[in-house]
């Protein structure tokens, strides 16, 4: 049979990610024997071996690796469909359709402020919920339905799989403690910022993993702001991040930092009229003529 059920794909994903039947069963809130039987039944239906069992746990076969990637896409799509469907229904109590906009905390503040102000004046505007995110989380939020649209920044974010409109291009700044000697410089280079002995670069998670390095692992914007103010780290941000700086911070332009382009991105298959209106408003906020995304 070529038809797979979402439930059995969720079972398989738990095992593929834990690489241990017992831990996967605990994660799913079920007993181990029925989970093992479900995986074995899935293997029989597909006619391939998905897992190699051993004393330490399990390992994915080549076929299992393929299903791991494909199953994640299917499960995320199913989850996204449920989440977006619930948000799309206006309530009998007069509540509006709701759209969730994912944004990187602290960046594009002025653009976001103008966008929300302009969109709220639109007839039949949906309710906008702002979902703050880390450096590279917006794409995952779009894929699994936590967000309907996102402000994403190239070259840091990948736009693969999404439709998008370019909104803003800006330079980059180093955000340092205001009392640090380099804070008095007119400009800095990426090499200089990356090699400050007493001020290691902050490390944001990418795909849930913090890159190696001596700098602190950052989980939210408030934590980052405090650590910079205390003289424990330095960070690189788009120029628009000046909006959240404290008096204890200094912003120094990077002369060789690649331009940061802010886009509004959304799932390529979306047919939401409310989302199309939000995208139109976003492009108008940049004072540049853009094509109609709903056309």
Q: What was the pLDDT predicted at 286?
A: 77
Helical spans, DSSP H, in the chain: 6-18, 21-28, 32-46, 62-87, 109-120, 138-143, 190-193, 221-229, 273-284
Mean pLDDT of the chain: 89
Average pLDDT score over residue span 1-28: 90
Q: What was the pLDDT predicted at 295?
A: 38
Q: What was the pLDDT predicted at 60?
A: 95
Q: What was the pLDDT predicted at 119?
A: 94
Query: Any bridge partners for residue 163, and if so which?
Result: 266
Are 264 and 162 within 8 A, CB to CB?
A: no
Q: What was the pLDDT predicted at 56?
A: 80
How many Cβ atoms are within 10 Å of 272's Cβ, its own excluded? 20
* Calpha distance 20→36 (Å, rounded): 10
Are 244 and 103 within 8 A, CB to CB?
A: no
Q: Do strands 260-267 and 162-170 pair parallel, antiparallel, or not at all (unpaired)? A: antiparallel
Quote the DSSP letter at residue 213. S
Q: What was the pLDDT predicted at 206?
A: 74
Q: What was the pLDDT predicted at 1?
A: 52
Q: What was the pLDDT predicted at 189?
A: 97
Q: What was the pLDDT predicted at 287?
A: 58
List pLDDT tens digits, range 7-17.
Answer: 999 999 999 99
Q: What was the pLDDT predicted at 91?
A: 55
Q: What was the pLDDT predicted at 204?
A: 83
Q: What was the pLDDT predicted at 124?
A: 83
% of the chain with per-residue pLDDT over 70? 94
For residue 59, is pLDDT > 60? yes
| Confidence bin at 95 (pLDDT 50/70/90) | low
List pLDDT tens digits, range 142-201.
Answer: 999 999 999 999 998 899 999 999 999 999 999 999 999 999 999 999 999 999 988 999
% of the chain with per-residue pLDDT over 90? 65
List pLDDT tens digits, range 206-242.
Answer: 766 888 889 999 888 889 999 999 999 999 999 988 9
Q: What was the pLDDT predicted at 207?
A: 66
106: left (phi over 0), alpha (psi -120 to 50) or beta: left
Output the DSSP codes for 195-228.
Answer: T-TTSPBPEE-BTTBPPSSSSPEE-SHHHHHHHH
Nearest to 216 by CA among 194, 231, 201: 201
Average pLDDT score over residue span 66-73: 93
Quote the DSSP letter at residue 19. S
Q: What was the pLDDT predicted at 291?
A: 39
């Amino acid at each position: 049979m070529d038809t797979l059920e979402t439930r059995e794909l969720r079972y398989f994903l738990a095992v593929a990610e834990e690489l241990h039947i017992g831990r996967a069963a605990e994660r799913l809130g079920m007993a181990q024997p029925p989970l093992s039987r479900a995986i074995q039944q899935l293997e029989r239906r597909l006619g391939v071996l998905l897992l190699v069992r051993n004393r330490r746990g399990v390992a994915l076969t080549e076929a299992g690796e393929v299903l791991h990637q494909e199953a994640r896409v299917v499960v995320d799509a199913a989850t996204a469909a449920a989440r977006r469907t619930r948000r799309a229904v206006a309530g009998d109590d007069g509540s509006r359709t709701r759209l969730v906009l994912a944004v990187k905390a602290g960046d594009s503040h002025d653009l976001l402020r103008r966008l929300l102000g302009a969109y709220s004046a639109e007839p039949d505007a949906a309710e906008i919920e702002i979902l703050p995110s880390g450096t590279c989380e917006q794409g995952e939020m779009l894929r699994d339905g936590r967000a309907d649209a996102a402000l994403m920044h190239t070259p840091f974010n990948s736009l693969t799989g999404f439709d998008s409109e370019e909104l803003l291009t800006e330079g980059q700044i180093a955000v340092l403690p205001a009392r640090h000697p380099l804070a008095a410089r007119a400009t800095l280079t990426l090499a200089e910022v990356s090699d400050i002995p007493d001020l290691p670069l902050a490390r944001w998670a990418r795909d849930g993993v913090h890159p190696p390095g001596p700098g602190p692992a950052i989980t939210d914007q408030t934590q980052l702001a405090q650590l910079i103010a205390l003289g424990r780290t330095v960070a690189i941000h788009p120029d628009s991040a000046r909006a959240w700086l404290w008096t204890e911070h200094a912003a120094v332009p990077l002369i060789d930092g690649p331009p940061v382009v802010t886009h509004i991105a959304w799932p390529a298959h979306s047919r939401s009229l409310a989302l199309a209106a939000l995208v139109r408003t976003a492009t108008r906020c940049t004072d540049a003529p853009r094509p109609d995304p709903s056309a």
